[in-house]
Structure formats: C-alpha cells, structure tokens
C-alpha cells in the first residue's frame, strides 16, 4: 500500500523539479575533491611544523594512519582507492605494464595512457559517478587517462614525461584550475594528484631535511587550498579528502647489510624467462618452462631477508596474488631491502613496495567539509574503505567492492548516519532537495519509495 501512496507523492516532486528536465542524479549532495600526495608516510607531519594540517585536523577528520593495499606501490594502490577493489581483483598489479612474450616493460608514466593496463572490469568511481549523472575529472591521478568499457573520464589531464614534481607555483595553479572546474563548470568530483613527497623520499630518503622541507611545502599548499576553497565560495559545498598511496622507508645498502642479489642463487639465463625486479621491495619471476620448482627451491631460503612464494601460496591477507597477471614466483623483502636481479643498479635511498603491515608503509587520511565531523580522530583503517565513503558523499550507488561504509561512517555528521538506504537510493535519482531546485525543502522520504523508483535507476 505504501508504494502506491509514495508514487503519488513523488510524481509531482519529480515533475516540478528542474523545470521539467529531471536530471537523474542531480541530488542533494556536496561536491568532492580527492587529493593524493604520493608517498606521504603516516608520520611525516610529526617532526616538522605543519600548521595548516594541524588546523585541518581540528576542523575535520584525521585518521591515526591509513593502511594501503599490498603491493604498496603507486598505480596499484591508487586504483584500489578509486575502485574499492583489492589489487588481485582490479588487476593493476604494478606501476609498470609488461608483456612476458615481447619482454616489454613500460614505465609508470607511459603506462598511464594504456587502457589495456587499467581496464580489467573493475570500474573506477569516475565512470560509475558519470553514469549516474555526476560530472567528474582527474588531474594527474593514476588511471585517469584510461578508458573503461570504452568510456573516458569526462576530463582528464595525464602527467607529462617532463612534469616537475615539486614546483610550488604550479601546485597552486593546479588548485586554481580545479576550483574553476567546480565553480565555473560545475564538476562534482575531481581527483588531484601530486608526485611529492614520493620523489624526494626516493632520491634522498625519508629521514632527511629535504623530506621535511617538502612536507612544509605540502603544508603551505594545503593552506592555499583552504584559502582557495573560501575564495571560491565552496566552503559549504565541497568535501575534501587528502590521502596517499603508501609510505617510505630508508633503503639498506652494503656494506651495512648483505644486499639481495638473485643471481647469486639462480642462473637467469638458464632458469628465468621474464622478471620484474630491481624495483624496490617487491619482485616476480616467470621461470622458463619446467623450471618453476627449481627456481622456487633455489630462492626460498636463499637470503634471510627475502620471502619467496609460489603464486598459489602467497599469503591470503595481501589479497594480491590471485590475478592472472601475477607471475608464478612472487617475493617481497624485509623493510629496506631492495630485490636486485642480475646487477645492483639501484640508486634509491628510500623505497616502498614492502609489507603493508609495516608502519613505514602506512600513509595518511584527512578529510574536511560540510559532511565531516570536526576535530574527529578516527582509528586507523584500510584504504579500501575510502571508496564506499566517496560513493556515499556523492550520492552514487557503488559497484560491487571490497570496502565497507561501516568503517568510516562515524566520521560523517549525523544526517548521513540516519539516512536509510531508500533515501540514499532516491537521492541518486534527484528527488529531494537540491541546490539546483531551490523551491523544494528537505523532506523525509516517503516510505516504500525504493520499490517504485528502483526500475527508473539506470
């Protein structure tokens, strides 16, 4: 019975809104900006003054720390944040796209434009939100340059090969550009990526003055962001999440330690068809036909700080190894050990890719804006849970995912806690109060709305 009443009640609302052009999904939600500062370890703000970040913690939400997925690497981790799927599920298993037949390896930046690396069936939030009427854009965010199911992100800037990582003037210009996207072009969801403090962390190591200097630059940039949000009149309309993809640890070098050099234990020429090594604390090998057991036996106890697995035995907790792209032999090293292949050709002073349980791999989560509580210190959580939170903020129905809204819900102001599923659902159809439909007041949803509006949703 309630169904019939609700339909009667809803129809005039529908027709009255948006001047006869009810736009699906233009509902009562706030805009969302997701910012990622690559390689921002969870405690980088603790040995340097960060007045703007400290102020934001008082004006919004701060999690003690955030656990990235394994492998703790830029493209895989960013794609978990934007899709809510484990890495073995979304298939972006490394920064480099590779082909074991041709032996090609594409660098991180080249890979950014390669749809075939990113589009494996798990839809990133840009696409899902677009399909539900939101306007979305990506500014240098990993994966934003690909097409999904044939569909590009509505606006996407891909980092150029020569893009400087640390130009503070350019950082501010990028914020201005994004603010104009929100205000002049009415974008609803934008992801903005910065390549620091990762670059500095690799080049000179995390426990250095240069790293502290770049954290202060990031802090000033966050101050500039808050000012820009005010200047553009977005304070009451824009939620912001500031996060990152992994931490950073100091690389251990000889003579202090015995470095891992795989060729000391296996003859590559005889046993290995293809390798992904020399890239921090994680590696994979494709043995030549029939040599898998030989490679495994030769490596498994070879070095006290190297853990080697057959793909099928790789620890379940990582949610990493099930994907078909993962090679048959998978290994990771203890904190700070690089996995070198045939030569030590590796210069980084800091790196990541290690076990995501290590504190040095943990990263940050901060959030503020009209839907977030103030001065709220959240427990640490896994980055996989950011996706359902973003869907809730945007009023978008999520794709199947591996996160849980229950983990982050307490960060939100009460109106979200009380919102039933049916309201959330009806909201995606643009039926309640909207800034674009000012005549309508916020109102309680008619019960049973879901049963009737359901079929109209895409």
Ligand X SMILES: *[C@@H]1O[C@H](CO)[C@@H](O)[C@H](O)[C@H]1NC(C)=O
CB-nearer residue toward ligand X: 110 or 419: 110
- Specify the 3-state DSSP secondary structure of 42: coil
Q: Contact between 347 and ligand X (CB under 6 A)?
A: no
Backbone angles phi, psi at 200, to 5 degrees: -65, -40
Sign of CA dihedral 4, 9, 11, 14: negative
Q: Closest distance between ligand X and the C-beta of residue 97, in Å?
A: 12
Quick one: which segment of 71-79, 83-91, 180-188, 445-453 binds ligand X (CB under 6 A)?
83-91
Cβ(67)–Cβ(380) under 8 Å? yes
Q: Closest distance between ligand X and the C-beta of residue 425, in Å?
A: 19
Residues 353 to 372 in contact with ligand X, rule: CB under 6 A = none
Cβ(216)–Cβ(49) under 8 Å? yes
Cβ–Cβ contacts within 10 Å for residue 153, how many? 24
| Pairwise CA distance, residues 458 & 455, whole Å | 8
Q: Tell me which residue has its CB nearest to ligand X.
A: 400
Residue holding tokens 């509006």? Answer: 453
Cβ(458)–Cβ(131) under 8 Å? yes
- Specify the 3-state DSSP secondary structure of 15: helix
The residues annotated with a catalytic role in the active site are 74
Q: Could you give the count of Cα atoms lying within 13 Å of 428 in the half-sphere of its Cβ?
A: 25
Q: Contact between 382 and ligand X (CB under 6 A)?
A: no
CB-nearer residue toward ligand X: 77 or 434: 77
Quick one: which segment of 39-47, 104-112, 340-348, 429-437 binds ligand X (CB under 6 A)?
104-112
Q: Which of 40, 70, 86, 381 binds ligand X (CB under 6 A)?
A: 86
Q: Which of 253, 325, 416, 436 binds ligand X (CB under 6 A)?
A: 253
Q: Contact between 145 and ligand X (CB under 6 A)?
A: yes
Sign of CA dihedral 322, 124, 110, 204: negative
| Pairwise CA distance, residues 83 & 67, whole Å | 16
Residues 155 to 184 in contact with ligand X, rule: CB under 6 A = 158, 160-161, 164, 167, 169-170, 173
Residues 294 to 333 in contact with ligand X, rule: CB under 6 A = 319
Q: Closest distance between ligand X and the C-beta of residue 111, in Å?
A: 8
Q: Contact between 402 and ligand X (CB under 6 A)?
A: yes
Q: Contact between 115 and ligand X (CB under 6 A)?
A: no
Cβ–Cβ contacts within 10 Å for residue 191, how many? 29
CB-nearer residue toward ligand X: 161 or 347: 161
E strands in 291-352: 306-310, 329-333, 339-340, 350-351
The residue length of the chain stands at 458
CB-nearer residue toward ligand X: 145 or 446: 145
CB-nearer residue toward ligand X: 31 or 85: 85
Q: Closest distance between ligand X and the C-beta of residue 188, in Å?
A: 23
Q: Which of 211, 229, 209 is nearest to 166 (CA)?
A: 211
Q: Contact between 188 and ligand X (CB under 6 A)?
A: no
CB-nearer residue toward ligand X: 60 or 350: 350
CB-nearer residue toward ligand X: 2 or 113: 113
| C-alpha distances out from residue 21 to 12, 26, 103, 174, 436, Å | 13, 11, 53, 34, 12
| Pairwise CA distance, residues 420 & 190, whole Å | 26
Cβ(119)–Cβ(149) under 8 Å? yes
Q: Contact between 128 and ligand X (CB under 6 A)?
A: no
Q: Which of 112, 199, 221, 243 binds ligand X (CB under 6 A)?
A: 112
Q: Contact between 273 and ligand X (CB under 6 A)?
A: no
Instruction: Say how many residues touch ligand X, by CB under 6 A.
Output: 21
Q: Closest distance between ligand X and the C-beta of residue 255, in Å?
A: 7
CB-nearer residue toward ligand X: 279 or 320: 320
Name the residues that contact ligand X, by CB under 6 A.
Answer: 85-86, 89, 109-110, 112-113, 145, 158, 160-161, 164, 167, 169-170, 173, 253, 256, 319, 400, 402
């Amino acid at each position: 019975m309630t169904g019939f009443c609700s339909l009667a009640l809803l129809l005039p609302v529908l027709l009255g809104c948006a001047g006869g052009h009810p736009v699906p999904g233009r509902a009562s939600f706030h805009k969302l900006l997701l910012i990622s500062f690559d390689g921002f370890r969870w405690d980088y703000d603790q040995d340097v003054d960060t007045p703007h970040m400290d102020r934001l913690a008082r004006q919004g939400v701060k999690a003690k720390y955030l656990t990235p997925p394994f492998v703790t690497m830029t493209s895989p981790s960013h794609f978990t944040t934007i899709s809510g799927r484990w890495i073995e599920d979304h298939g972006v298993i490394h920064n480099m796209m590779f082909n074991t037949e041709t032996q090609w390896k594409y660098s991180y930046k080249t890979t950014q434009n390669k749809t075939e690396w990113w589009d494996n069936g798990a839809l990133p939030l840009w696409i899902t939100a677009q399909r539900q009427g939101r306007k979305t854009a990506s500014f240098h965010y990993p994966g934003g340059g690909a097409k999904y199911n044939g569909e590009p992100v509505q606006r996407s800037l891909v980092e150029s090969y020569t893009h400087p990582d640390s130009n503070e003037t350019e950082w501010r210009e990028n914020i201005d550009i994004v603010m104009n996207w929100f205000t002049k072009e009415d974008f609803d969801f934008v992801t903005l990526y910065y390549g620091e403090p990762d670059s500095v962390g690799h080049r000179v190591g995390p426990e250095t003055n240069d790293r502290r200097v770049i954290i202060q630059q990031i802090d000033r940039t966050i101050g500039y962001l808050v000012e820009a949000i005010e200047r553009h009149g977005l304070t009451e309309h824009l939620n912001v999440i500031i996060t990152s993809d992994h931490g950073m640890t100091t690389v251990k070098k000889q003579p202090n330690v015995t470095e891992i050099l795989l060729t000391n234990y296996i003859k590559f020429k005889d046993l290995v068809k293809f390798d992904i090594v020399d890239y921090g604390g994680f590696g994979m090998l494709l043995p030549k036909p029939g040599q898998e057991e030989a490679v495994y036996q030769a490596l498994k106890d070879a070095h006290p700080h190297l853990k080697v697995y057959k793909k099928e035995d790789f620890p379940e907790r990582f949610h990493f190894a099930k994907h078909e792209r993962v090679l048959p032999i998978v290994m990771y090293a203890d904190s700070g050990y690089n996995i070198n292949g045939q030569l030590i050709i590796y210069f980084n002073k800091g790196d990541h890719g290690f076990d995501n349980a290590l504190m040095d791999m943990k990263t940050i989560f901060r959030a503020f804006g009209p839907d977030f509580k103030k001065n709220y210190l959240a427990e640490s959580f896994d980055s996989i849970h950011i996706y359902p939170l973003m869907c809730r903020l945007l009023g978008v129905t999520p794709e199947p995912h591996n996160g849980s809204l229950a983990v982050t819900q307490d960060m939100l102001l009460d109106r979200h806690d009380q919102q039933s599923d049916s309201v959330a659902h009806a909201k995606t159809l643009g039926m309640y109060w909207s800034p674009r439909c000012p005549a309508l007041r916020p109102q309680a949803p008619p019960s049973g709305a879901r049963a009737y509006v359901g079929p109209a949703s895409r």
